[in-house]
Amino acid sequence: MKISDLSKTVKRILVMATIVIFASGIVLLWMHRAATDDSVLRLYGNVDIREVQLAFRQSGRVTEMAFDEGDAVRAGERMAALDAQPYREALAAAQAQVQVAQAELAKLRHGLRPQEITQVSEAFKQAQALAIEAESNFQRQSRLLASGASSQRTVDAAHTARDQAAASVEAAKAALSQASEGFRKEDIAAAEARLAAAQAVASQFATALADTELMAPSRGTVIARVREPGSMVGSQSTVYSLSLDKPVYVRAYVGGRDLGRIAPGTAVSVKSDSSDKIYRGQIGFISPRAEFTPKTVETADLRTDLVYRLRIVIDEAESDTALRQGMPVTVEIDAKSGPSSHTGER
């Protein structure tokens, strides 16, 4: 083989090697970019399920605790009860006071009975008759005084009796007018106010009686049973701790450099370490205040970096009992997708 042919062959090999190396570099670069696509933002957080501390608004003796730890409850189910007898008795007494106030008001509104008005009318007629007799006696005694057949003392006594009879007539006349017109508007208004006060007291005792039953505010799972039947509890003393089934939140944190890539309503996917199921949700809240990364949160950045807290709402159709309080999860956000149609915190 000639030297020139050998040189050409070496050049061809070098060119082909260069092309292969260049192509391989392009493929590796493409694969690296695909593997490290920065359009997907990956965060780490924990499941944050709402808990409710259930308590009676009234104090008393516990007679029933219907659920144990781990039991599932539905909204509106009776979970516990107090001895209601003292509250029933108090309500009965309050209702009796309402009836008394109602009777007093009805009496004032209806006025006096016809028989009572007749009595007052007859008393007025009697007073008039006595006044006429007293006037006649005074006139007679005055004439006798002029003829010397009566004394001044007797005339004065007849004059006083006449004046007293006239006053009795005026008093009877006023009583008849009052009986005919009925009671004063102010008295009726005062009776109405007393009735309203009695009804308010009865309503308070009715509410207190209803509060002797503890109802589940929402569907959930009992995580703590604090009291037992027979226990004496005060108002606002916790008897159950309830973990709500819905809504299910995820608490995560995002660094300041990635804050502009997300917004409330952005769709996310959530995955736990315990299963391969992917949960769908959306960002419902972004804290306006920066804070240092909590020690329980792991990010690719230094722990001293400032981060912003996120609340991610898991779709109700996606949530199940596999997501438990405090469970670590991985959150992936497609920053290019933008907010969904359901924006805002829930």
The rounded average pLDDT for each run of 10 residues, N- to C-terminus, in the chain (346 residues) is: 60 68 61 56 86 94 95 94 96 96 87 70 82 82 75 82 85 74 78 95 96 94 94 94 88 84 87 85 84 58 66 74 82 69 46
pLDDT of residue 191: 92
**CA distances from residue 244 to 97, 165, 216, 317 in whole angstroms, order as listed:** 43, 85, 10, 15
pLDDT of residue 303: 44
Least Cα distance to 105 among 180, 190, 202 occurs for 190
pLDDT of residue 223: 92
Whether the bond into 328 is cis, omega within 30 of 0: no
pLDDT of residue 22: 63
Measure the CA–CA gap between 236 and 224, rounded to whole angstroms: 16
26 CB-contact burial (10 Å; exposed 0-12 / middle 13-18 / buried 19+): exposed
CB under 8 A, 24+ apart: contacts of 165-169: 165/127, 165/130, 165/131, 165/133, 165/134, 165/135, 166/131, 166/134, 168/127, 168/130, 168/131, 169/124, 169/127, 169/128, 169/131
Structure tokens at 148: 């010397």
pLDDT of residue 23: 62
pLDDT of residue 132: 85
pLDDT of residue 342: 46
Measure the CA–CA gap between 108 and 96, rounded to whole angstroms: 19
Pairing between strand 60-65 and 232-233? Answer: antiparallel
Question: First vs last Cα of the chain: how many Å apart?
Answer: 82
pLDDT of residue 170: 83
Q: What SS3 class is residue 94? A: helix
